[in-house]
Structure 1
Amino acid sequence: MSYFEQLKQSCAEDWQAYTQHEFVRQLGAGTLPAESFRHYLKQDYLFLIQFTRAWGLAVYKSDNFADMRYGQAGINALLDLEIGLHIDYCKEWGISELQLLEEKESSACVAYTRFVLDRGLSGGLAELHAALAPCMMGYAEIGTWLMQQPFTKLEGNPYRKWIEMYAGQEFQDAIEVEKELLERLCADLTEVGMNRVKQTFGTATRMEVAFWEMGLWRLM
Protein backbone atom coordinates (compact mmCIF):
# COMPACT_ATOMS: atom_id res chain seq x y z
CA MET A 1 0.00 0.00 0.00
CA SER A 2 1.35 3.43 -0.91
CA TYR A 3 1.96 5.99 1.81
CA PHE A 4 -0.70 8.18 0.26
CA GLU A 5 -3.27 5.38 0.62
CA GLN A 6 -2.14 4.94 4.23
CA LEU A 7 -2.74 8.64 4.83
CA LYS A 8 -6.22 8.44 3.34
CA GLN A 9 -7.07 5.33 5.36
CA SER A 10 -5.92 7.04 8.55
CA CYS A 11 -8.79 9.55 8.13
CA ALA A 12 -11.10 7.58 5.84
CA GLU A 13 -14.39 9.07 7.05
CA ASP A 14 -13.11 12.62 6.81
CA TRP A 15 -11.59 11.95 3.39
CA GLN A 16 -14.92 10.69 2.06
CA ALA A 17 -16.76 13.61 3.68
CA TYR A 18 -14.37 15.93 1.82
CA THR A 19 -14.18 14.31 -1.61
CA GLN A 20 -17.89 13.44 -1.77
CA HIS A 21 -19.22 16.51 0.02
CA GLU A 22 -22.64 17.97 -0.81
CA PHE A 23 -20.91 21.01 -2.30
CA VAL A 24 -19.05 18.69 -4.69
CA ARG A 25 -22.19 16.76 -5.53
CA GLN A 26 -24.06 19.94 -6.37
CA LEU A 27 -21.18 21.02 -8.60
CA GLY A 28 -21.47 17.75 -10.49
CA ALA A 29 -25.23 18.00 -10.84
CA GLY A 30 -25.02 21.66 -11.81
CA THR A 31 -27.43 22.63 -9.02
CA LEU A 32 -25.10 24.62 -6.77
CA PRO A 33 -26.42 28.19 -6.45
CA ALA A 34 -24.20 30.68 -8.26
CA GLU A 35 -23.88 32.83 -5.13
CA SER A 36 -22.25 29.95 -3.25
CA PHE A 37 -19.83 29.28 -6.08
CA ARG A 38 -18.86 32.93 -6.37
CA HIS A 39 -18.18 33.08 -2.65
CA TYR A 40 -16.05 29.94 -2.94
CA LEU A 41 -14.11 31.41 -5.87
CA LYS A 42 -13.29 34.59 -3.96
CA GLN A 43 -12.13 32.66 -0.92
CA ASP A 44 -10.17 30.26 -3.12
CA TYR A 45 -8.23 33.23 -4.50
CA LEU A 46 -7.23 34.18 -0.96
CA PHE A 47 -6.38 30.55 -0.29
CA LEU A 48 -4.05 30.46 -3.31
CA ILE A 49 -2.15 33.49 -2.00
CA GLN A 50 -1.39 31.70 1.27
CA PHE A 51 -0.77 28.42 -0.57
CA THR A 52 1.99 30.17 -2.49
CA ARG A 53 3.62 31.24 0.78
CA ALA A 54 3.54 27.60 1.88
CA TRP A 55 5.37 26.57 -1.28
CA GLY A 56 7.98 29.16 -0.36
CA LEU A 57 8.48 27.21 2.86
CA ALA A 58 8.93 24.06 0.78
CA VAL A 59 12.07 25.62 -0.70
CA TYR A 60 13.32 26.65 2.74
CA LYS A 61 12.68 23.21 4.24
CA SER A 62 14.38 21.31 1.41
CA ASP A 63 17.84 19.93 2.07
CA ASN A 64 18.82 19.13 -1.51
CA PHE A 65 18.84 20.97 -4.82
CA ALA A 66 16.22 18.78 -6.51
CA ASP A 67 13.62 19.38 -3.79
CA MET A 68 14.42 23.10 -3.79
CA ARG A 69 13.83 23.25 -7.54
CA TYR A 70 10.55 21.38 -7.12
CA GLY A 71 9.43 23.90 -4.50
CA GLN A 72 10.46 26.75 -6.77
CA ALA A 73 8.45 25.22 -9.61
CA GLY A 74 5.40 25.17 -7.34
CA ILE A 75 5.84 28.86 -6.55
CA ASN A 76 6.34 29.75 -10.20
CA ALA A 77 3.27 27.78 -11.28
CA LEU A 78 1.11 29.61 -8.76
CA LEU A 79 2.48 33.12 -9.30
CA ASP A 80 2.98 32.96 -13.07
CA LEU A 81 0.00 30.83 -14.12
CA GLU A 82 -2.56 29.47 -11.68
CA ILE A 83 -3.45 32.67 -9.82
CA GLY A 84 -3.77 34.53 -13.12
CA LEU A 85 -6.01 31.80 -14.52
CA HIS A 86 -8.09 31.94 -11.36
CA ILE A 87 -8.52 35.70 -11.71
CA ASP A 88 -9.62 35.24 -15.34
CA TYR A 89 -12.06 32.49 -14.33
CA CYS A 90 -13.50 34.73 -11.62
CA LYS A 91 -14.11 37.41 -14.26
CA GLU A 92 -16.19 34.89 -16.20
CA TRP A 93 -18.37 34.69 -13.08
CA GLY A 94 -18.69 38.45 -12.80
CA ILE A 95 -16.04 38.87 -10.10
CA SER A 96 -13.55 41.65 -10.77
CA GLU A 97 -9.92 41.62 -9.66
CA LEU A 98 -10.71 44.57 -7.39
CA GLN A 99 -13.40 42.51 -5.68
CA LEU A 100 -10.88 39.74 -5.08
CA LEU A 101 -8.42 42.19 -3.59
CA GLU A 102 -11.09 43.64 -1.27
CA GLU A 103 -12.48 40.27 -0.19
CA LYS A 104 -12.05 39.45 3.49
CA GLU A 105 -10.81 36.03 4.46
CA SER A 106 -13.44 33.76 5.95
CA SER A 107 -12.75 31.97 9.21
CA ALA A 108 -12.48 28.70 7.31
CA CYS A 109 -9.86 30.12 4.95
CA VAL A 110 -7.81 31.64 7.78
CA ALA A 111 -7.91 28.43 9.83
CA TYR A 112 -6.91 26.20 6.94
CA THR A 113 -4.14 28.29 5.42
CA ARG A 114 -2.53 29.25 8.73
CA PHE A 115 -2.56 25.61 9.77
CA VAL A 116 -0.66 24.71 6.59
CA LEU A 117 1.85 27.48 7.23
CA ASP A 118 2.25 26.38 10.86
CA ARG A 119 2.99 22.81 9.80
CA GLY A 120 5.49 24.13 7.32
CA LEU A 121 7.22 26.26 9.93
CA SER A 122 7.25 23.80 12.82
CA GLY A 123 7.54 20.47 11.02
CA GLY A 124 9.70 18.93 8.35
CA LEU A 125 9.22 18.84 4.60
CA ALA A 126 7.10 15.68 4.80
CA GLU A 127 4.66 17.37 7.18
CA LEU A 128 4.42 20.41 4.95
CA HIS A 129 3.59 18.30 1.90
CA ALA A 130 1.13 16.28 3.98
CA ALA A 131 -0.62 19.56 4.80
CA LEU A 132 -0.65 20.55 1.11
CA ALA A 133 -1.71 17.12 -0.16
CA PRO A 134 -5.46 17.09 0.63
CA CYS A 135 -6.02 20.15 -1.53
CA MET A 136 -3.91 19.01 -4.46
CA MET A 137 -4.65 15.30 -4.47
CA GLY A 138 -8.18 15.69 -3.23
CA TYR A 139 -9.21 17.90 -6.14
CA ALA A 140 -7.75 15.38 -8.58
CA GLU A 141 -9.76 12.62 -6.92
CA ILE A 142 -12.89 14.79 -6.89
CA GLY A 143 -12.58 15.52 -10.60
CA THR A 144 -12.18 11.83 -11.44
CA TRP A 145 -14.98 10.80 -9.08
CA LEU A 146 -17.44 13.31 -10.49
CA MET A 147 -16.79 12.11 -14.02
CA GLN A 148 -17.83 8.62 -12.90
CA GLN A 149 -21.07 9.56 -11.13
CA PRO A 150 -24.48 9.06 -12.76
CA PHE A 151 -25.73 12.33 -11.26
CA THR A 152 -22.98 14.38 -12.90
CA LYS A 153 -24.25 16.52 -15.75
CA LEU A 154 -21.84 18.12 -18.19
CA GLU A 155 -24.14 19.41 -20.89
CA GLY A 156 -25.44 22.78 -19.77
CA ASN A 157 -23.64 22.56 -16.42
CA PRO A 158 -22.24 25.99 -15.46
CA TYR A 159 -19.49 24.18 -13.51
CA ARG A 160 -18.39 21.94 -16.36
CA LYS A 161 -15.12 23.85 -16.86
CA TRP A 162 -14.23 23.44 -13.20
CA ILE A 163 -14.96 19.69 -13.26
CA GLU A 164 -13.08 19.05 -16.48
CA MET A 165 -10.05 21.01 -15.31
CA TYR A 166 -9.51 18.83 -12.26
CA ALA A 167 -10.44 15.64 -14.08
CA GLY A 168 -8.14 16.55 -16.97
CA GLN A 169 -4.93 14.72 -17.75
CA GLU A 170 -2.70 17.76 -17.22
CA PHE A 171 -3.83 18.19 -13.62
CA GLN A 172 -3.79 14.45 -12.97
CA ASP A 173 -0.20 14.19 -14.25
CA ALA A 174 0.93 17.06 -12.04
CA ILE A 175 -0.56 15.34 -9.00
CA GLU A 176 1.30 12.12 -9.77
CA VAL A 177 4.57 14.05 -9.42
CA GLU A 178 3.48 15.34 -6.01
CA LYS A 179 2.50 11.80 -4.96
CA GLU A 180 5.95 10.52 -5.92
CA LEU A 181 7.60 13.19 -3.77
CA LEU A 182 5.33 12.41 -0.81
CA GLU A 183 6.15 8.71 -1.14
CA ARG A 184 9.87 9.43 -1.02
CA LEU A 185 9.57 11.79 1.93
CA CYS A 186 7.43 9.36 3.94
CA ALA A 187 9.79 6.46 3.25
CA ASP A 188 12.47 8.18 5.35
CA LEU A 189 10.24 8.74 8.39
CA THR A 190 10.30 6.97 11.72
CA GLU A 191 7.04 5.59 13.13
CA VAL A 192 6.68 8.72 15.26
CA GLY A 193 7.32 10.93 12.25
CA MET A 194 4.76 9.06 10.16
CA ASN A 195 2.17 9.44 12.90
CA ARG A 196 2.75 13.21 12.86
CA VAL A 197 2.32 13.24 9.09
CA LYS A 198 -0.94 11.29 9.41
CA GLN A 199 -2.23 13.75 12.01
CA THR A 200 -1.31 16.67 9.76
CA PHE A 201 -2.97 15.09 6.73
CA GLY A 202 -6.11 14.32 8.75
CA THR A 203 -6.41 17.85 10.10
CA ALA A 204 -5.90 19.38 6.64
CA THR A 205 -8.61 17.07 5.29
CA ARG A 206 -11.05 18.29 7.94
CA MET A 207 -10.11 21.84 6.99
CA GLU A 208 -11.12 21.03 3.41
CA VAL A 209 -14.51 19.86 4.64
CA ALA A 210 -14.90 23.17 6.48
CA PHE A 211 -13.98 25.02 3.29
CA TRP A 212 -16.85 23.33 1.42
CA GLU A 213 -19.17 24.04 4.36
CA MET A 214 -18.17 27.69 4.06
CA GLY A 215 -19.46 27.64 0.49
CA LEU A 216 -22.73 25.97 1.40
CA TRP A 217 -23.20 28.45 4.23
CA ARG A 218 -24.06 30.99 1.55
CA LEU A 219 -27.29 29.05 1.02
CA MET A 220 -28.51 29.83 4.53
Structure 2
Amino acid sequence: MGYRFTDLTAACQDDWRAYIEHDFVRALGNGTLAEDAFRHYLQQDYLFLIHFARAYALAAYKSRTLADLRQAHEGLKAIVDVELGLHVGYCREWGISEEELARLPEARATMAYTRYVLDTGNRGDLLDLHVALAPCLIGYGEIANWLNGRPDTVRGDANPYDAWIGMYEGDEFQGAMRAELEWLDARLADVTPTRLKELTDVFRDATRLEIDFWQMGLDRSL
Protein backbone atom coordinates (compact mmCIF):
# COMPACT_ATOMS: atom_id res chain seq x y z
CA MET A 1 0.00 0.00 0.00
CA GLY A 2 1.29 3.46 -0.90
CA TYR A 3 1.64 6.58 1.17
CA ARG A 4 -1.11 9.15 1.86
CA PHE A 5 -1.31 12.74 3.06
CA THR A 6 -1.90 11.46 6.59
CA ASP A 7 1.65 10.07 6.53
CA LEU A 8 2.92 13.66 6.22
CA THR A 9 0.81 14.94 9.11
CA ALA A 10 1.73 11.92 11.24
CA ALA A 11 5.44 12.55 10.66
CA CYS A 12 5.00 16.24 11.61
CA GLN A 13 2.33 15.76 14.27
CA ASP A 14 3.71 18.23 16.85
CA ASP A 15 4.11 21.04 14.31
CA TRP A 16 0.78 20.24 12.64
CA ARG A 17 -1.13 20.41 15.95
CA ALA A 18 0.75 23.59 16.93
CA TYR A 19 -0.48 25.13 13.66
CA ILE A 20 -4.08 23.89 13.76
CA GLU A 21 -4.48 24.69 17.48
CA HIS A 22 -2.44 27.90 17.61
CA ASP A 23 -3.37 30.58 20.17
CA PHE A 24 -4.45 32.85 17.30
CA VAL A 25 -6.88 30.17 16.11
CA ARG A 26 -8.19 29.48 19.62
CA ALA A 27 -8.80 33.18 20.28
CA LEU A 28 -10.48 33.54 16.90
CA GLY A 29 -12.81 30.66 17.74
CA ASN A 30 -13.54 32.03 21.22
CA GLY A 31 -14.23 35.48 19.80
CA THR A 32 -11.55 36.93 22.11
CA LEU A 33 -8.92 37.76 19.49
CA ALA A 34 -7.89 41.43 19.58
CA GLU A 35 -9.40 43.22 16.60
CA ASP A 36 -6.14 44.91 15.62
CA ALA A 37 -4.45 41.49 15.54
CA PHE A 38 -7.14 40.22 13.19
CA ARG A 39 -6.86 43.31 10.97
CA HIS A 40 -3.11 42.85 10.76
CA TYR A 41 -3.60 39.22 9.76
CA LEU A 42 -6.23 40.18 7.16
CA GLN A 43 -3.93 42.73 5.59
CA GLN A 44 -1.04 40.30 5.30
CA ASP A 45 -3.37 37.57 4.05
CA TYR A 46 -4.23 39.82 1.11
CA LEU A 47 -0.54 39.91 0.17
CA PHE A 48 -0.34 36.16 0.71
CA LEU A 49 -3.21 35.60 -1.75
CA ILE A 50 -1.32 37.50 -4.45
CA HIS A 51 1.66 35.18 -4.05
CA PHE A 52 -0.71 32.22 -3.81
CA ALA A 53 -1.95 33.17 -7.30
CA ARG A 54 1.67 33.25 -8.49
CA ALA A 55 2.11 29.74 -7.09
CA TYR A 56 -0.81 28.52 -9.21
CA ALA A 57 0.78 30.14 -12.24
CA LEU A 58 3.96 28.21 -11.39
CA ALA A 59 1.86 25.05 -11.01
CA ALA A 60 0.57 25.57 -14.55
CA TYR A 61 4.16 25.83 -15.80
CA LYS A 62 5.12 22.68 -13.89
CA SER A 63 2.12 20.67 -15.14
CA ARG A 64 2.83 17.69 -17.38
CA THR A 65 -0.77 16.68 -18.06
CA LEU A 66 -3.76 18.60 -19.37
CA ALA A 67 -5.70 17.70 -16.22
CA ASP A 68 -3.03 19.27 -13.98
CA LEU A 69 -2.82 22.30 -16.27
CA ARG A 70 -6.57 22.80 -16.05
CA GLN A 71 -6.46 22.44 -12.26
CA ALA A 72 -3.76 25.11 -12.00
CA HIS A 73 -5.65 27.40 -14.37
CA GLU A 74 -8.86 27.08 -12.37
CA GLY A 75 -7.00 27.77 -9.14
CA LEU A 76 -5.40 30.89 -10.58
CA LYS A 77 -8.72 32.15 -11.93
CA ALA A 78 -10.47 31.48 -8.61
CA ILE A 79 -7.95 33.59 -6.70
CA VAL A 80 -7.61 36.46 -9.18
CA ASP A 81 -11.25 36.68 -10.30
CA VAL A 82 -13.09 35.70 -7.09
CA GLU A 83 -11.12 35.31 -3.87
CA LEU A 84 -9.15 38.57 -4.01
CA GLY A 85 -12.35 40.50 -4.64
CA LEU A 86 -14.08 38.79 -1.74
CA HIS A 87 -11.09 39.43 0.49
CA VAL A 88 -11.05 43.11 -0.40
CA GLY A 89 -14.75 43.31 0.44
CA TYR A 90 -14.22 41.52 3.75
CA CYS A 91 -11.34 43.85 4.61
CA ARG A 92 -13.59 46.82 3.85
CA GLU A 93 -16.03 45.54 6.48
CA TRP A 94 -13.13 45.69 8.94
CA GLY A 95 -12.30 49.27 8.03
CA ILE A 96 -9.42 48.47 5.66
CA SER A 97 -9.69 50.12 2.25
CA GLU A 98 -8.36 48.70 -1.01
CA GLU A 99 -6.03 51.68 -1.23
CA GLU A 100 -4.52 50.74 2.14
CA LEU A 101 -4.07 47.14 0.98
CA ALA A 102 -2.22 48.33 -2.14
CA ARG A 103 0.28 50.25 0.01
CA LEU A 104 0.98 47.51 2.53
CA PRO A 105 4.54 46.49 3.41
CA GLU A 106 5.05 42.75 3.59
CA ALA A 107 5.68 41.30 7.01
CA ARG A 108 8.72 39.07 7.33
CA ALA A 109 6.47 36.08 8.07
CA THR A 110 4.55 36.73 4.83
CA MET A 111 7.74 36.95 2.81
CA ALA A 112 9.23 33.87 4.43
CA TYR A 113 6.29 31.57 3.75
CA THR A 114 5.34 32.79 0.28
CA ARG A 115 8.90 32.82 -1.01
CA TYR A 116 9.50 29.38 0.48
CA VAL A 117 6.50 28.03 -1.44
CA LEU A 118 7.64 29.62 -4.70
CA ASP A 119 11.26 28.53 -4.23
CA THR A 120 10.15 24.97 -3.43
CA GLY A 121 8.05 24.89 -6.56
CA ASN A 122 10.84 26.34 -8.69
CA ARG A 123 13.51 23.86 -7.58
CA GLY A 124 11.17 20.88 -7.28
CA ASP A 125 8.27 19.41 -9.21
CA LEU A 126 4.51 19.84 -9.06
CA LEU A 127 4.18 17.53 -6.06
CA ASP A 128 6.76 19.56 -4.11
CA LEU A 129 4.71 22.69 -4.81
CA HIS A 130 1.42 21.11 -3.73
CA VAL A 131 2.96 19.78 -0.53
CA ALA A 132 4.35 23.25 0.27
CA LEU A 133 0.86 24.71 -0.24
CA ALA A 134 -0.93 21.96 1.71
CA PRO A 135 -0.75 23.62 5.16
CA CYS A 136 -2.86 26.44 3.71
CA LEU A 137 -5.06 24.50 1.25
CA ILE A 138 -5.84 21.69 3.67
CA GLY A 139 -4.95 23.28 6.98
CA TYR A 140 -7.58 26.03 6.89
CA GLY A 141 -10.31 23.46 6.26
CA GLU A 142 -9.04 21.34 9.13
CA ILE A 143 -8.88 24.41 11.37
CA ALA A 144 -12.54 25.22 10.68
CA ASN A 145 -13.51 21.62 11.44
CA TRP A 146 -11.39 21.61 14.61
CA LEU A 147 -12.99 24.85 15.80
CA ASN A 148 -16.45 23.44 15.20
CA GLY A 149 -15.57 20.43 17.35
CA ARG A 150 -14.47 22.57 20.31
CA PRO A 151 -17.01 23.33 23.06
CA ASP A 152 -15.33 26.73 23.63
CA THR A 153 -15.91 27.93 20.06
CA VAL A 154 -18.52 30.70 19.86
CA ARG A 155 -20.69 30.89 16.76
CA GLY A 156 -23.12 33.48 15.47
CA ASP A 157 -23.34 37.19 16.24
CA ALA A 158 -21.57 36.73 19.57
CA ASN A 159 -18.32 36.09 17.70
CA PRO A 160 -17.05 38.87 15.39
CA TYR A 161 -14.97 36.24 13.54
CA ASP A 162 -17.86 33.88 12.81
CA ALA A 163 -17.82 34.78 9.10
CA TRP A 164 -14.16 33.76 8.88
CA ILE A 165 -14.94 30.32 10.29
CA GLY A 166 -17.93 30.14 7.96
CA MET A 167 -15.75 30.65 4.88
CA TYR A 168 -13.62 27.62 5.62
CA GLU A 169 -16.34 25.31 6.90
CA GLY A 170 -18.46 26.02 3.80
CA ASP A 171 -19.12 23.46 1.09
CA GLU A 172 -16.95 25.27 -1.48
CA PHE A 173 -13.77 25.31 0.57
CA GLN A 174 -14.36 21.88 2.10
CA GLY A 175 -14.91 20.49 -1.39
CA ALA A 176 -11.67 22.07 -2.61
CA MET A 177 -9.88 20.61 0.41
CA ARG A 178 -11.18 17.12 -0.33
CA ALA A 179 -10.19 17.44 -4.00
CA GLU A 180 -6.66 18.46 -2.97
CA LEU A 181 -6.44 15.54 -0.56
CA GLU A 182 -7.46 13.15 -3.34
CA TRP A 183 -4.85 14.66 -5.68
CA LEU A 184 -2.11 14.35 -3.06
CA ASP A 185 -3.08 10.83 -2.02
CA ALA A 186 -3.03 9.65 -5.65
CA ARG A 187 0.51 10.96 -6.16
CA LEU A 188 1.91 10.06 -2.76
CA ALA A 189 0.83 6.47 -3.36
CA ASP A 190 3.64 6.10 -5.90
CA VAL A 191 6.56 7.73 -4.07
CA THR A 192 9.52 5.90 -2.54
CA PRO A 193 10.46 6.12 1.16
CA THR A 194 13.34 8.43 0.24
CA ARG A 195 11.03 10.71 -1.71
CA LEU A 196 8.52 10.73 1.16
CA LYS A 197 11.28 11.91 3.49
CA GLU A 198 12.01 14.82 1.13
CA LEU A 199 8.32 15.74 0.97
CA THR A 200 7.99 15.43 4.75
CA ASP A 201 10.77 17.99 5.15
CA VAL A 202 8.93 20.35 2.79
CA PHE A 203 5.66 19.86 4.64
CA ARG A 204 7.28 20.42 8.04
CA ASP A 205 9.01 23.61 6.90
CA ALA A 206 5.81 24.98 5.37
CA THR A 207 3.80 24.15 8.50
CA ARG A 208 6.31 25.93 10.71
CA LEU A 209 6.12 28.97 8.46
CA GLU A 210 2.32 28.92 8.78
CA ILE A 211 2.76 28.87 12.56
CA ASP A 212 4.91 31.98 12.20
CA PHE A 213 2.14 33.58 10.12
CA TRP A 214 -0.35 33.13 12.98
CA GLN A 215 2.20 34.46 15.45
CA MET A 216 2.79 37.45 13.20
CA GLY A 217 -0.93 38.24 13.56
CA LEU A 218 -0.78 38.00 17.34
CA ASP A 219 2.38 40.09 17.56
CA ARG A 220 1.24 42.62 14.89
CA SER A 221 4.80 42.32 13.60
CA LEU A 222 6.26 43.38 10.26
When normalised by structure 1's length, the TM-score is: 0.97
For 1:213 and 1:140, the matched residues in 2 are separated by 19
RMSD: 1.2
Among residues 203, 206, 214, which one is paired with 1:204 in the alignment? 206
Q: Alignment partner of 1:105: what SS?
A: coil
Which residue pairs with 1:45 in the alignment? 46
Which residue pairs with 1:79 in the alignment? 80
Which residue pairs with 2:21 in the alignment? 20
Counterpart of 2:102, as a letter, is L
For 1:185 and 1:118, the matched residues in 2 are separated by 21
CA deviation after TM superposition for structure 1 residue 3, in Å: 1.2
Counterpart of 1:167, as a letter, is E
For 2:72 and 2:207, the matched residues in 1 are separated by 22
Alignment of 1:1-220 (within 5 A): 3-155=4-156, 156-218=158-220
Please say if residues 3 and 189 of structure 2, whose CA atoms lie closer than 8 Å, have aligned partners that are also in contact.
Answer: no
Please say if residues 125 and 185 of structure 1, whose CA atoms lie closer than 8 Å, have aligned partners that are also in contact.
Answer: no
CA deviation after TM superposition for structure 1 residue 185, in Å: 2.0
Q: Alignment partner of 1:75: what SS?
A: helix
- Which stretch shows the higher mean deviation, 53-62 or 190-199? 190-199
For 2:165 and 2:3, the matched residues in 1 are separated by 26
For 1:188 and 1:121, the matched residues in 2 are separated by 22
CA deviation after TM superposition for structure 1 residue 2, in Å: 5.8
Structure 1, residues 72-123: CA drift from partner, whole Å, max 9, x if none?
A: 1110100010111000000000000011010100000000000000010000
For 1:214 and 1:4, the matched residues in 2 are separated by 27
Count of residues in Structure 1 that have an aligned counterpart in Structure 2: 219
For 1:84 and 1:7, the matched residues in 2 are separated by 33
Which segments of 5 or more consecutive residues in structure 1 lack a partner in the other structure? none
For 1:178 and 1:33, the matched residues in 2 are separated by 32
Identity %: 51
Which segments of 5 or more consecutive residues in structure 2 lack a partner in the other structure? none
Please say if residues 127 and 200 of structure 1, whose CA atoms lie closer than 8 Å, have aligned partners that are also in contact.
Answer: yes
Structure 1, residues 11-41: CA drift from partner, whole Å, max 9, x if none?
A: 1000000000000000000000100000000
Q: Alignment partner of 1:104: what SS?
A: coil
CA deviation after TM superposition for structure 1 residue 183, in Å: 1.3
